[in-house]
Amino acid sequence: MHKLVTIFGGSGFVGRYIARRLAEQGWRVRVAVRRPNEAHFVRVYGAVGQVEPVFANVRDDASVAAALMGADAVVNCVGILAEAGKNRFDAVQAEAPGRIARLAAAEGITGMVQISAIGADAESDSDYARTKAAGEAAVLAHQPDAVILRPSIVFGAEDQFFNRFAGMARLMPILPVVGPNTRFQPVFVDDVAAAAALAVEGKAKPGIYELGGPEIRTFRELMQDMLGVIRRRALILTVPFFAARIMAWGLDLAQTVTAGLLHNGTLTKDQVRNLARDNVASDDVPGFEALGIVPTTMETVLPEYLWRFRRSGQYSDIKKSASNLKT
């Protein structure tokens, strides 16, 4: 009988890659999500019946317990970048991981992987970073042998970082950037999935791992890299932090007074706080090297999915080659 893993948030950006890798390794995969009808695409990651989406609300004990029933391991990928409705940082990133860990322990599950983030800090003035740290502590309280993975900014075909800014560059000649000198260490999503799969398989020592790619780049440099890949020009405009805070305050206020009808998916006050801090793996915390994984470079992956933002799309290289032909 193949072992069963429950992946909370298994249809999300990172979770789907973990689900695919574990299915390839022979695991039965239960993808626990709020809207299983929108997660049917995960079924093709394995044989018929091997990967199944199921309903789960990480804010509810009974729902989580049902999703964990009979599982041998659990991975929690659920997280948010901005609050909306009932999805508050404390509920989703602090309380939910503890709930999953507690109910997993009650089910007899001892193998847990928690996807956190570089910058998790219990003393941070950022709600995002503070609740990430609280979630880690809650997991370790019930699952002391858990593996906690802290990636830097994650890139890949479905990312909301490079795709977002490339889309902006396609529509306008200016790219507004908050914190242009803030440093990041972008990590390929499938490398994070490989680390999670090792942990589920019991091939990673318990503890915290900080996962960063092979390149450390400033926000401005990342935008320059992206523009080079999509072969477009744009003015990278520095938005001062005081101006960003005013803008974020206004957008947050609009979301509040409209009771969420106008969702602030642009820039929040909490995101401005995070953009003031480097997002780089610490030399004092184990990383990919300790897991035997060689991280993938951005130049290897970005052209594979950002080509659609070029003026000629998939025909860009053909058009360039044709222009070099002598008549």
Banded model confidence at residue 172, pLDDT cuts 50, 70, 90:
very high
Q: Report pLDDT for 319.
A: 67
193 token code pair: 């999935």
Q: Kindly report, residue by residue over 5-17, the tens digit of the pLDDT.
A: 999 999 999 999 9
First to last CA, the chain: 66
Domain ranges of the chain: 4-158+185-214+279-295
- The string of pLDDT tens digits covering residues 231-267 is 999 999 999 999 999 999 999 999 989 888 888 989 9
Higher pLDDT, 315 or 14: 14
Superfamily name with CATH number, domain 4-158+185-214+279-295: NAD(P)-binding Rossmann-like Domain (3.40.50.720)
> What is the pTM for the complete model shown?
0.94
Q: Half-sphere exposure of residue 157, counting CA atoms within 13 Å on the CB side?
A: 6
pLDDT tens-digit map of 65-109: 999 999 999 999 999 999 988 899 999 999 999 999 999 999 999
Query: Residue 206: which pLDDT band, with cuts at 50, 70 and 90?
Result: very high
DSSP one-letter code for 259:
T
pLDDT at site 85? 85
Residue with tokens 């800014």: 165
How far is the C-alpha of 218 from the C-alpha of 191, rounded, in Å?
21
The pLDDT value recorded for residue 322 is: 67
Nearest residue to 192 (alpha-carbon basis) of 42, 295, 81: 295
> CA angle at residue 118 from 308 to 280, to 5 degrees?
75
The rounded distance, in Å, linking the Cα atoms of 180 and 100 is: 37
User: What is the rounded CA–CA span in Å between residue 111 and residue 243?
Assistant: 45
Q: In this predicted structure, what is the pLDDT of residue 259?
A: 85
